[in-house]
Chains A and B, each alone.
Chain A
Amino acid sequence: MTELKLPSLDYAALAPILIMLGAALVGVLVEAFVPRRSRHVVQLTLALLAVLAALTMVVLNADDRLITAGQAISVDGPTLFLQGAILVLAAMALLLIGDRSVERGGAFVAQAAVTAESADDRRQAEGRNGLTEIYPLTTFAIGGMLIFVAANDLLTMFIALEVFSLPLYLLCALARRRRLLSQEAAMKYFLLGAYASAFFLFGVALIYGFTSGIPGRGAGVDFSTINAAVTESPTSPVLLFAGMALLAIGLLFKAAAAPFHVWTPDVYQGAPTPVTGFMAACTKVAAFGALLRVFHVAFAGAAWDFTPVLGAVAVLTMLVGAVLAVTQTDIKRLLAYSSIANAGYLLVGVLSPSRDGLSGTMFYLVAYGFSVLAAFAVVTLVRDADGEATHLSRWAGLGRRSPFYAGLFTFILLAFAGIPLTSGFTSKFAIFGPALDGGQAWLVIAGVLTSMVLAFPYLRVVVMMWLSEPGESTPTVTVPGGLTSAALMIGVLATLVLGVAPAPLLDLATGAADFVR
C-alpha cells in the first residue's frame, strides 16, 4: 500500500471556488430550515453575497500565478479574468432570476421532473409562493464554472463540467409557464449533454494512453504532461489526434459550435428566460475558457495541426448561426442562433495564438455576455396574459407602444450587428485584428461576411419594432422591478461603455493574458 499523500492547498487562491460551493451548500440548508416566507430574500441575498465575496477574492488574488491542489487547479491571469467575468455576469443573471415584480412569485417551480400537465405539476406551477430551489442550483453551477476555467488537468475539467452541467439541466426544466416545453428542453439538453460528456471522457482516456511512455516521466492528464507528450511521446500520434478530436467535441458541444449546436435553439427557447441568459453569458465564458486553456496550454505544440480543423468548425458555426438566424420567427431562437454565430467568432479568437488573440477573446466573452443578458432581460419584459410573447410577429410596432424599451433593445441589436460605438464593434475588432495578424485571413473574411448576413435578422427585428403599426396582439412591455432594471441597465451601459472606451478592459485582459504552465 502506498501512502496517500494529500496535496497542499492554497486556500486563498481557491477561495472563489470554495465560497461559491459553500454558499450552495448553505443554500440547501436554507431550503430546509428557513421559513418559506423569507426564503426568497435570504436565498437571493446569500447568492449575491457569495458572488460578491468570490469576486472580491478574485480581485485580491489578481496577481496570483500559481498551480495548486497538486496539478489540478491553476490560478493565473486567464483564470482570474474569466472567473471575474463569470461572477459579474452571474450576478446580473441572479438579478434577473430574483425579479418577482414581472411575474408574481417568480418564474420558476421547485421540481423539474414532475410529469408535465399532471395535477402535481399544475399545483406547483399555480402555487402563489414562489419557489427558491433555483438559487442553490445556480450557485452550484457558478461554482462548477469557476473550477472549469481553472482546471489544470482533464479529469478536474471533466468533473467541473459535470458540476456545472447537472444543475443547468435542472434549471432548464424549472420554467413556471409552458412546462412541457421547458421539460422537453431539459431532457434534450441532458441526453445530448451526457452524450457529449462521453466523447470528452473517451478523449481523456486516449490522451492518457498517449502520454504513457515518455522517458523519465509518468503518464498523466495534467496539461504540462500533455504538453510535453505532444513533442516527446514515442506513442503513435493517432492516439493524440483521436483524443484531441474527442476532447474538442465535448467542449465544442458546450460552446454551441456547429455541428454540435443542435441542442441550442430548443434549449434556449424552452428554458426560463433568465436561465437562458445565464447559459448564454456564463456557460459561454466557461466553455471558451476551457477551450483556450486546453488548446493554448496542453496542445500548444500541435497548433499547426488543430488550427485548420477548428478553423473549419469556426466557419461552419458562423455560417449555420448566421444563415439559420435569417428565418427564425421566435426571438429566443433568433438569439440562440446569434449565440451560435458568436461561438464561431470566438473560435476565431481561440485560433489566434498570440497574446492579443487571447486577450481579444476574453474581452469578447465579457462584452458579449453583457449584451446578451441585457437582450434576454428585455425578452422577459415583453409579455401578455400568457407570459412572455416571444413570437416575432408579436413584437411588431413595439416601438410605438414602449419606445424606451424598444430603444434599448434596438441598441443591443445594433451591438450584436457590430455597429461602431457599441461593444459589438470593438469586440469583433479585438478578435479579428489578431486573427488577421496571425495569418488567418480566411477566418476573418468568413467572419465579416457572416456578420453581414447576421445583420439582416437583427435589423428585421428593428424594422418590425419601429416601422410596423402596433397590432391588436402587440403586447406591452411590463414595467420591470428594480432587479431586472438594474440588470438591463448594467448590460446596456456596459455595451455602450465598452464600445466607446474599451481600453481599460482591453488593458486588463492583455495584462491577464498569460497562462501558467
Chain B
Amino acid sequence: MEETVHYAEATGLLGSVWLLVAIPLVSAAVLLLLGRRADRWGHWLGVAAIGAAFVLGLSSFFQLRGLENKSVELSLWDFIAVGDLRVDFGLLFDPLAAVFVLLITGVGFLIHLYAVEYMAHDAGRRRFFAYFNLFVAAMLLLVLGNNYVMLYFGWEGVGLASYLLISFWYGRPSAATAGKKAFLMNRVGDAGLAIGIFIMFATLGTTQYDEVFNGVGALTGATVLVLGLLLLLGAAGKSGQFPLQAWLPDAMEGPTPVSALIHAATMVTAGVYLIARSNPIFSANSTLQLVVVSVGALTLLMGCIIGAAKDDIKRVLAWSTVSQIGYMFLGVGLGGGAYALAIVHLLAHGFFKANMFLGAGSVMHGMKDQVDIRRFGGLSKHMKITWLTFMMGWLAIIGMFPFSGFFSKEPIIVAAFEREDWTAWLFGGAALLGAGLTAFYMTRLFVLTFHGPKRWTEDIEHPHESPALMTIPLVLLAVGSVGAGFLLSTSVPDWLTATAGLGGEHAEHEAVLSHAVITVLSLLVTVLGAGLAWFLFRAGTATAPQPAGVLVTAARRNLYTDAVNEAVFEKPGIFLTRALVYLDNRGVDGLVNGLAAAVGGGSGRLRRLQTGFVRSYATSILAGALLVMAAFLAVQAGWLA
C-alpha cells in the first residue's frame, strides 16, 4: 500500500506551529526558574500561555481547513544523525493532530482557568502551573511530532508531568505512593513502546510516520504483530487499559484539575492517539486488531463493574475514564471507519469528563475536600450551577439522546455489531452491556451526590457554590457536553479522511442487527440502568460499608487485579531481586573478590623474588635467556621439520 502523502507548504501561521510547543514550555521554564519571585503572577502567566496556544492552534486549524492538502510538515533540525539513522526534530500538523491540539489547548485553557481559583489557597500554586504548562507542552509535542521518536519524547514528557502532579502533595504518603505506582506501571508500557521503536529502526530504518507506514507492507506478518503488540503495550500503559489499568484510579491523589486534564481528558487518551496514528500498522494484521478490540471490550466492562462499587467520587470517575477509553480502544481496534468514531468519542469524552471532574472538584471545594459520595446528598439545592453542569456531563456519558455521548458512543456500538463473524455478538454485546452499566453507576454517583437526603459529616453546615472563576469553565464545558457530540459526529469523520487511513469508507459488512434496533437497544439499556440506579439510591445509602455479595466484594477490590499484580509481578519481582542480590553478593562479588585476592596473593609472593641482590637478578636473567634461547631453538626445530 504505497501511498505518497502530499504536504502543503508551511506558510503563514502554519510555519509557526512549533510555537504551540514552545510557548507553554517557555512559560513552564520561567515559572520554575524564577521561583518565588513569580508566586504573585505566575498562575496568570500559565493561563495566558495556554490561551495563546489555543488562539494559535485555532488560527492554524482554520488555515489548514482552507488548504487542499490538509497536511503540513515542518522539519526544524536534525535531531539524531548517526550513520544510517536519521531522526528529524520535525512536526506534522494534519487533521488528526489539529483536533488534538484544539482539545488539549481548549479544554486545557478552561481547566487552567478553573485551577487558578481551585489552587488559590495552595502554597505551591506557581509550581503547580509550571508543571501544568510543562504537561501541555509535552502533550502538544506528542501529538505534533512527525515521527515516533518525537512522539516518544512527548510521551515521556507527559509521563514526567503526570508523576510530578500526581505526587504534587508529596507530603502525603498516599500521593507519593500513587506517583510511584503510576511511574512503575507506565515504565512497563513505555518499555514496550521503546522496543517497538527500536524494531522500526531495525527493520525499516526509519521512524518517520509516512515512511514507516509505507514500509509496513514489506514486513512479515510476525514482525507486524510483534510491533503492534509492543505499541499496544505502550498505549495500554499510558491509557490505563488492561492489564496496566491499576495506576489510573490511584492517580486521583493529585489535585482535581490534574485529574480532569491529564487523567481524563488528554494524557490518558494518548494511547488512543498512538493506535489511531499507527492505524496502517494495526490494519495490516487482523490478529492485532482482535487483540486491541479484546483489550478494549474487557477494560470497558471492568471499568464499569469496579466503578459501580466505589464510593470515592473521583475514583468512580477514574474507573469510568478507564471504561470510556475502553470504548475508544474498541473503536480503534475495529479499524476502518471506526477509527474516526473512536476519535470522536475521545473528543466528546474530553469535554464531558473534564466537566464532571471539575464538577467533582467544585463539590469537594464546597464540602471541605470530602470525596465519599455516601457523605453527600441533596447538594442540588446548594450548588445549582455545579448540579446543572454535572447533570449535562452525566447525561452525556450515559449516552442519552441528544447529549454528546449518544452521538459518539452509539456509533461504536453499531460498529462493534458490524464485525463479520460471531465476535460481532461478543463485542457488540459487551459494548451494549457496558452502556447499561455506565448508566447505572453514573446515575448512582449523580443521585447520591446531588439528590436524596443529606448525609454530610457534622462539620459541614452550609456548602457553598464555587466562585465564578470555577463555574464559568464548568458552564462552557457543559455546553460542550450537550452540543459537541452532534457537531463532532457529523464533521470530524470527514475532516479526518485527510489523515492516512482514518475515516472514509464506512462499514463494508452488514451489521448483525439493524442500525435502528441497536439504537433502540442502547437507549433502552441506558434507561434501564439509570432507572434502576435511581430507584435503588433515590433515598440515599448507608454511610458505612455494607456486607456484600461475591460480585460487589470483587468489584470493591478492583476485581482482584491488584492481587493478581501482586502475585504475578510483585512477589516474583521481589523474589528475583533478592535472588539477584544474593547472587551478586555471594557469586559475582565472591568471584571478583576471589580474583582480586588471588592477584594480590600472587603479587605478594612474586614480590619476594625481587630480593635486591644483583646475583639473583643475574640468575633470573640467565634463566630467562636460556628459556628464550630454548624457545627459539624449539621453533627452529619445528621449522626444520
Contacts and interface: CB of A to CB of B under 8 A. Distances in A.
Given A195-B621, A324-B603, A262 B632 contact: no
Contact of A241 (B602, B607, B614, B632): B632
Given A242-B629, A266-B612, 8 more contacts: A241-B632, A245-B629, A260-B624, A305-B635, A306-B635, A313-B628, A325-B603, A327-B600
B628 A238 contact: no
B631 interface: yes
B487 interface: no
B606 A323 contact: yes
Interface residues of A, number: 39
B633 interface: yes
Contacts, number: 92
A188 B617 contact: yes
B607 A324 contact: yes
A188 B628 CA distance: 22
Contacts of A248: 628
A38 B621 CA distance: 45
A373 to B, nearest CB: 25
A191 interface: yes
Given A249-B628, A309-B631, A453-B599, A188 B639 contact: no
Interface string B599-641: 1101110110010101001101101110111011101100110
A244 interface: yes
Interface in A228-247: 237-238, 240-242, 244-246
A456 B597 CA distance: 12
B596 interface: yes
A245 to B, nearest CB: 4
Interface string A170-206: 0000000000000000011001100110010000000
A259 B603 contact: no
Contacts of A260: 621, 624-625
Given A187-B614, A191-B614, A244-B632, A249 B604 contact: no
B341 to A, nearest CB: 55
A327 B607 contact: yes
A249 B625 contact: yes
A258 B640 CA distance: 28
A326 interface: yes
Interface in A312-359: 312-313, 320, 323-327
A258 B599 CA distance: 18
Contacts of B596: 456
A199 to B, nearest CB: 6
Interface string A187-227: 11001100110010000000000000000000000000000
B604 to A, nearest CB: 5
B594 to A, nearest CB: 14
B497 to A, nearest CB: 54
A240 B636 CA distance: 9
Nearest to B618: A195
A306 B640 CA distance: 15
A262 B620 contact: yes
B636 A238 contact: yes
Contact of A305 (B610, B620, B639): B639
29 contacts: A192-B618, A192-B621, A196-B621, A199-B625, A237-B640, A242-B632, A244-B632, A245-B632, A249-B624, A249-B628, A259-B620, A259-B621, A259-B627, A260-B621, A260-B624, A262-B620, A262-B621, A266-B610, A305-B632, A306-B635, A308-B635, A309-B631, A312-B631, A313-B628, A323-B602, A323-B606, A326-B600, A327-B603, A327-B607
B291 to A, nearest CB: 45
Interface of A: 187-188, 191-192, 195-196, 199, 237-238, 240-242, 244-246, 248-249, 253, 258-260, 262-263, 265-266, 305-306, 308-309, 312-313, 320, 323-327, 453, 456
Contacts of B612: 266
Taking each of B602, B620, B628, which has the highest tally of chain A beta carbons within 10 Å of its own beta carbon? B628
Contact of B628 (A187, A266, A309, A324): A309
B606 A246 contact: no
Contacts of A196: 621
Contacts of A320: 606
User: What are the nearest 6 A-B pairs in CB distance?
Assistant: A259-B624, A262-B617, A245-B632, A241-B636, A327-B603, A326-B603
B621 A253 contact: yes
B604 A327 contact: yes
Contacts of B640: 237
Contacts of B618: 191-192, 195
Interface of B: 596, 599-600, 602-604, 606-607, 610, 612, 614, 617-618, 620-621, 623-625, 627-629, 631-633, 635-636, 639-640
A313 B627 CA distance: 10
Contacts of A258: 624
Contacts of A242: 629, 632-633
A320 B621 CA distance: 14
B477 to A, nearest CB: 56
A265 B610 contact: yes
Contacts of B607: 324, 327
A309 B603 CA distance: 24
Contacts of A312: 631
B632 A263 contact: no
B449 to A, nearest CB: 62
A246 B626 CA distance: 9
B636 A305 contact: yes
Contacts of B614: 187-188, 191-192
B636 A263 contact: no
A244 B632 CA distance: 8
A237 B639 contact: yes
Contacts of A187: 614
A244 B620 CA distance: 20
A59 B625 CA distance: 39
A487 B104 CA distance: 63
B628 A262 contact: no
Contacts of A313: 628
A326 B599 contact: yes
Nearest to A305: B635
Nearest to B636: A241
Contact of B636 (A192, A237, A249, A253): A237
A506 to B, nearest CB: 22
Nearest to B600: A326
A235 B612 CA distance: 42
Contacts of A453: 599
A265 to B, nearest CB: 6
A109 B614 CA distance: 24
B599 to A, nearest CB: 6
A324 B618 CA distance: 19
B621 A309 contact: no
